[in-house]
Structure 1
């Protein structure tokens, strides 16, 4: 993983939303999309980063931000996204927000 600073931007799109990752000097952007089921439950749908960002920690930063924001809002996450699901299995400290 690189020491590149990953900037994460949250975009609310009504019943859906996404987190966008950008790294200064690197072309493209990564994203983690989610669907809002209720005020207390969201579904992590999809995470993708372009080849130009691979190995720089962008996907991990996206998932970490999703968890941090969900924890702060008192929400639970259903990890349908394979990346978020795999990461949650390696992060027992996420048990309070991940709904398996």
Structure 2
């Protein structure tokens, strides 16, 4: 996927999730995570509306959690199938944040 094909999206944060609603208030993208002790979170769910798939939005959602956890000095357990594949595919980007 070329960088110009990626739709940049700003997400809202609510509790342990980042999400985006459309103009009608329907949720169109979401990532959730749950605390696992003091130093880790489990990234357990990523959702992107079918109309938006293939535009890099799920990747941005995962990266938003990564950014937040780096600030909080926490590690991530990528339990969500999408996040798990992403962490495996780009170890140079995620090895510092992935829980061992």
TM-score band w.r.t. shorter chain:
0.7 to 0.9
Report the equivalent of 1:30.
29
Question: Can you give the 5+ residue segments of structure 2 that lack an aligned partner in the other structure?
Answer: none
Superposed CA RMSD in Å reads: 1.9
CA distance in 2, matches of 1:67, 1:44: 10
Bigger share in helix: 2
CA distance in 2, matches of 1:91, 1:23: 30
CA distance in 2, matches of 1:58, 1:23: 14
Deviation at 1:51, TM superposition (A): 0.8
1:4 touches 1:23 (CA, 8 Å); kept in 2?
A: no
2:12 touches 2:19 (CA, 8 Å); kept in 1?
A: yes
Deviation at 1:4, TM superposition (A): 2.4
Question: Can you give the 5+ residue segments of structure 1 that lack an aligned partner in the other structure?
Answer: none
Deviation at 1:5, TM superposition (A): 2.5
CA distance in 2, matches of 1:38, 1:10: 21
CA distance in 2, matches of 1:66, 1:60: 10
